[in-house]
Chain A
Amino acid sequence: MLLKYFWVSCLCACPVLLSAQDYFQEKPVRLEEVRITSSRLRDYAVGASVLEPDSSLVKLHQSESLSSLLSAASGVNLKTYGAGGLSSVSLRGGMTDHTAVLWNGLNIKSPMNGGINFSVLPVSLFGNVKIQYGGSATLFGSGAMSGVVHLDGNDLPGQPASADISATMGSFGFGAMSGSLKTGTKKFGSRTALYLQTADNDFPYKNTSRIGHPEEIQTNAGMNQLGGLQENQWRINDHSLLTSAVWFQYYDKDLQTLMTSRQQGETNQTDKNLAVSLNYKYYAASGHLTLKQGLLRNKVVYSDPAMADPQSDNNSLSWINEAEYKLRLGELHSILAGVNYTYESAESDGYRGSVFRNRLAAFVSGRLGMSGGEGALVLSLRDEMTDGQIHPVVFSFGAEHGFLNAFRIKGNISRNYRIPNLNDLYWKEDGFSAGNPALEPESGWSGDAGIVYSYKGESFSTGVSVTGFASSTKDIIVWLPENGGKWTPRNKKNGDTRGIEANFNFSAIANKSRLSGRVFYTYTSSVLTSSDEYDEKQMIYIPKHQMSSNMEFSRNSFYSILACRFTGERYYDYSKTLDAYFIMDASVGYRFSLAGLDADISVKILNLTDRQYQVVAWYAMPPRNYKFTLNITI
């Protein structure tokens, strides 16, 4: 039976295809669309790989964090400190601070440490998650050296009013509730979403740090989270659009006891985040103007009763302003130019008083359509100035072209940079560490080239793509002890990364049945050049081999999902490695009508084979666990 679907399998979203249909033709006025980032991503990421986690994966991780969703997504390497713990993303063998994270077009990474914790970002909040791989993301600014994770909402005006509520219960004290209310008219749309989540994470695990690997119960790993998002989109007139969003959240996490500690940990971290964005778009006959404003406020309090000063209070504020104009030149070509001013300030126990900096950037992109829309070339330039210091101009050049109606070749080359974060520069000098105000930005080159085959029929589609990538980064900032043992950051190492991504996906529909799936494999060789034991060795926590796959089968109101991921062996110091692991997650669900309302009930089994594994050394990960979700939509 299944073979029937396989042989007719065909393409859906290959990495590049997501936005492909729009690369080659300029649409006059796109007032229907209200999302802010999508235009730049769609029109100017020519030649780059952009992938959206499959809907089956989003469904599987709907009540969880982006950390769990992205760990199952293609080619994404997550470094996760235990269940619900700090989780950061690296792409294509880059470091975790080489991937930017944009929410409604605003870079929401902390100016203090250049990081963001994906465990605090709930999947239910973002209607659109996209991963842009490689250095083509340089147009989005500092830190986007190996890619960007884009988080956006959905278009609201003209959508029917609706309300949905979802409740999930699971193993080890997991409980989550979320609800959203969408109202509006053709000209105005509003959505309010709230969510709550709690977990004890008191799961059993085999303590591999002890002889005989005895089973123990995880301690001090619970968490509580609540938050909300309120967004409005208003078409003021035929030419103007105004959008706003306010997002707040509170995350209270006990930091998981390391399995090597025979005493229960007592550390805790609370994150309070507030993000506000306000955007205005004006559509003229020959293009459109976008004005963006964003305010990000983060407070992280780390407490450890075992420290002399048991609390460490870290506060940061970013105020982002951006203006860009896109000028259409006929049906195939366009130019986009803009400026960005960002003010960043931070106050921390780690600094002497508060610190701040002003960042000014200008960027321009030109797109040349070819062969009547069959192909396109894009050249982007960006220059940034920090507190009066001008950084070198960076650029990205991308090209792609279709042939034989089913194939497309694409490629991209870029020069990238990352300015030091505030901790690198301004960490106060004490007995053990000192920031280094003289640090230079990291800079490098990256490039990729690939070929995509796609076929789309009436009831089936398939896609195959292969991409090779390489990058070279110099002056990588590392903290090392020197000058009397103090840890100080220096522009010390150079990194070289090479790899291959291969994707196969298919989707088939027959009668009331649908089968779709994807397999994605990444080979990454990522080495540091340095004068010590790490020289020419694979970078720590970067696996050489990584594979993810997912498959969804649905028939009538029934659906089932199976997602697998394999992560190869990784170094965690100069000689020791963590074992490779293969994890399977599965879900079955049923949609039905309940008192006239649409209901969806599902059971998820995560870590189906009950695999014991570690993502970061000595942080136990949950064994097989279950989740039951009921979702009702009005």
Chain B
Amino acid sequence: MKRFISEHSGNLIWGFDALRIFGLALFLALFSGCEDNNDTKVHDPGNFADGIFVLNEGAWGASNSSVSFIPADKDTVFADLFITANGEDAVLGDVLMDMVSVDTLSYLVLNSSHSVMVVNNKNFEYVDEITGEVNNPRHAIVYNGLIYLTQWGKFGQEGAVLVIDPFDFSVVATIATGQGAHGIKEIDGKIWVANSGGYGYANTVSIINPESNSVERTIEVGDCPQNFVVDYEGNVWVLSSGYTEYDDQWQVINQTEPYLTCIDGETYKVSKNFQISSYTSPTEITISKDKKNIYFGGGSGGAKLWKVSVDNDELPSGTFSDLSPYGISVHPETGNLYCGMAPDFTKPGSVIVLDNEGNEVKEYNENIGIGPRRFIYVSQ
């Protein structure tokens, strides 16, 4: 059974019929795979059955986000799956932040397009585009057959989670959470949302009961929480990047510290709270394959990478790696850390793979788009 696996937890999010994939693989093997002689782009969308989707954000305003695919058994990276499937003049959208899949469809979250692009996940062909209530969307998960999408909304609006029917594309519920709803994760039948502050300030995590589609608990954490991981004991770790406050003249009048907070998964009590002041506003967090080590750092602030054991009572003083990746993710099978490198937003980035000691295992330079940030793994 082929499965798509979300980057943060390694939990199985959804799956679909392996026969279809086999068919697709056969089709692709027979009918495509040609290489364009003019450049190094490979226009074969490849076999999506085993590999990694790399979501490239693109440059804000330029609508040049793209999806690359790294097959497990090849060294070649397939570029621009959406263009390959839909033609040279097809446009995926502006600032791609996330992707989830339900059955035969994939849903691509496009932040600055204010939309969710729906494609056929066998071949990335366009199916539809969800717009309307979607405004500044950030991340999505699939739970109980429905898509849960966080969004900042317009300025002045509270951040929210839109619950979207994956087949008729309608919004079936809107759950107000907190300012700048960003990271989202299903943990033990509840949906956790990090209220990142968005345009302003927030320091809470909202826990949604999906049965009633309502917030049943709000937990105070560090300033501007970004995302979650769950360790081997079921504790939830929240990374908060800290808040910078400016006055009318844009002078920094207050800068709060980033925090790594551990919340007991059963009692919802904060059990550990690490101040990570010297780590320059990290926004990315992921957890090792055995769920015993947390990696954090990176993001748009250019922070380096740190690794901390979930059993430790203090943070390490040295870095895990001096790379400043834009996004990080642990491969659920190899346990390697995939780092999306975005040197700037006018040219393509690369993907650097580190082992769990921080040594570079591999680098993908070809056919990665601008601003690689998210990784979606597909198993056999």
Check: A592 CB closer than 8 A to any chain B CB. no
A350 contacts which chain B residues (CB < 8 A)? 250
Query: SS class of chain B's interface: helix, strand, loop or mixed?
Result: loop
A480 touches B348 (CB 8 A): no
Near A by CB (< 8 A), chain B positions 60-81 give: 61-64
B300 contacts which chain A residues (CB < 8 A)? 432, 485
Check: B150 CB closer than 8 A to any chain A CB. no
CB contact under 8 A between A428 and B303, given known A262-B131, A307-B199:
no
A574 contacts which chain B residues (CB < 8 A)? 346-348, 370
A618 touches B61 (CB 8 A): yes
B280 contacts which chain A residues (CB < 8 A)? 484
Check: A556 CB closer than 8 A to any chain B CB. no
- When each residue 20-64 of chain B gets 1 if its CB lies under 8 Å from chain A and 0 otherwise, what string results? 000000000000000000010000000000000000000101111
B177 contacts which chain A residues (CB < 8 A)? none
B62 touches A573 (CB 8 A): yes
A573 contacts which chain B residues (CB < 8 A)? 59, 62, 64, 346-347, 370
Query: SS class of chain A's interface: helix, strand, loop or mixed?
Result: loop
Give the interface segment out of B98-106, B109-117, B266-274: B109-117
B199 touches A308 (CB 8 A): yes
Check: B129 CB closer than 8 A to any chain A CB. yes
Near A by CB (< 8 A), chain B positions 83-134 give: 86, 89-91, 93-94, 112-115, 126, 129, 131-132, 134
Check: B265 CB closer than 8 A to any chain A CB. no
A70 to B41, CA, bound (A): 38
B112 contacts which chain A residues (CB < 8 A)? 260-261
A209 touches B251 (CB 8 A): no
Check: A211 CB closer than 8 A to any chain B CB. yes
CB contact under 8 A between A430 and B252, given known A260-B112, A533-B347, A573-B370:
yes
**Closest-CB distance, B298 to chain A (whole angstroms):** 9
A486 to B249, CA, bound (A): 20
Check: A532 CB closer than 8 A to any chain B CB. yes
Check: B246 CB closer than 8 A to any chain A CB. yes
- When each residue 306-337 of chain B gets 1 if its CB lies under 8 Å from chain A and 0 otherwise, what string results? 00000000000000000010000000000000
A307 touches B91 (CB 8 A): no
A3 to B91, CA, bound (A): 49
Check: B17 CB closer than 8 A to any chain A CB. no
A93 to B242, CA, bound (A): 44
A260 touches B302 (CB 8 A): no
- What's the interface size class on A, roughly? 35 or more
A197 to B25, CA, bound (A): 60
A308 to B156, CA, bound (A): 9
Near B by CB (< 8 A), chain A positions 376-408 give: none
A485 contacts which chain B residues (CB < 8 A)? 299-302, 324
Among B154, B250, B300, the one with the most A-chain Cβ atoms within 10 Å of its Cβ is B250
CB contact under 8 A between A258 and B61, given known A430-B250, A485-B300:
yes
A533 contacts which chain B residues (CB < 8 A)? 347-348
Check: B196 CB closer than 8 A to any chain A CB. no
A353 to B248, CA, bound (A): 11
Among B63, B86, B115, B136, the one with the most A-chain Cβ atoms within 10 Å of its Cβ is B63
B370 contacts which chain A residues (CB < 8 A)? 573-574
B199 touches A261 (CB 8 A): no
A428 to B86, CA, bound (A): 43
Check: A27 CB closer than 8 A to any chain B CB. no
8 tightest A-B contacts by CB? A485-B302, A484-B302, A262-B131, A263-B114, A260-B63, A308-B199, A209-B91, A262-B114
With A211-B126, A263-B154 known, 4 other A-B pairs at CB within 8 A are A260-B63, A430-B244, A481-B302, A483-B302
15 A-B contacts, Cβ less than 8 Å apart? A262-B113, A309-B246, A430-B250, A431-B244, A431-B301, A481-B344, A484-B280, A485-B300, A533-B347, A572-B62, A573-B62, A573-B370, A574-B346, A618-B61, A618-B62
Q: Which residues of A contact B (CB under 8 A)?
A: 208-211, 258, 260-263, 305-310, 349-350, 352-353, 428, 430-432, 480-481, 483-486, 532-534, 572-576, 617-618
